């Protein structure tokens, strides 16, 4: 949908409400040239905010971090 800047000024609030509830964009024009495009923002992803929150924080991983525990460490971990 195209709309002149003068018309957009007069109907700004109404246009924003419609764009927020309907999936279309409005091109605001001045002398026939598009100067702005108004559209609703993309929907926010519904992801657990904790997932990935620690991404990039591990600075060093010991190359032997996944080796099996010895008998002493195993017994100590039980206490």
Residue 46 lies in a domain: no
Residue 32 lies in a domain: yes
Residue 10 lies in a domain: yes
Residue 48 lies in a domain: no
Residue 39 and residue 32: Cα distance in Å, rounded?
A: 19
Beta bridge partners of 34: 29
Residues with Cβ within 8 Å of 19's Cβ and at least 6 positions away in sequence, in order, are 25, 26, 38, 39, 40
Residues with Cβ within 8 Å of 39's Cβ and at least 6 positions away in sequence, in order, are 19, 24, 25, 26
For the stretch 39-75, pLDDT in tens is 998 888 777 777 777 888 878 888 888 888 788 888 8
Residue 9 lies in a domain: yes
Residue 76 has a pLDDT of: 87
CATH number of the domain residue 71 falls in: 3.40.1620
Residues with Cβ within 8 Å of 77's Cβ and at least 6 positions away in sequence, in order, are 69
Residue 59 lies in a domain: yes
Are 15 and 28 in contact, with CB atoms under 8 Å apart?
Answer: no
Report the number of distinct structural domains present in the chain. 1
Domain that holds residue 69: 2-41+54-78
Residue 67 has a pLDDT of: 83
């Amino acid at each position: 949908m195209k709309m002149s800047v003068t018309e957009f000024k007069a109907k700004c609030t109404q246009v924003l409400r419609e764009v927020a509830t309907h999936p279309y964009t409005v091109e605001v024009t001045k002398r026939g040239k598009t100067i702005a495009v108004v559209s609703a923002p993309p929907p926010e992803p519904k992801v657990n905010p904790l997932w990935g929150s620690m991404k990039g924080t591990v600075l060093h991983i010991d190359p032997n971090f996944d080796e099996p525990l010895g008998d002493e460490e195993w017994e100590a971990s039980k206490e």
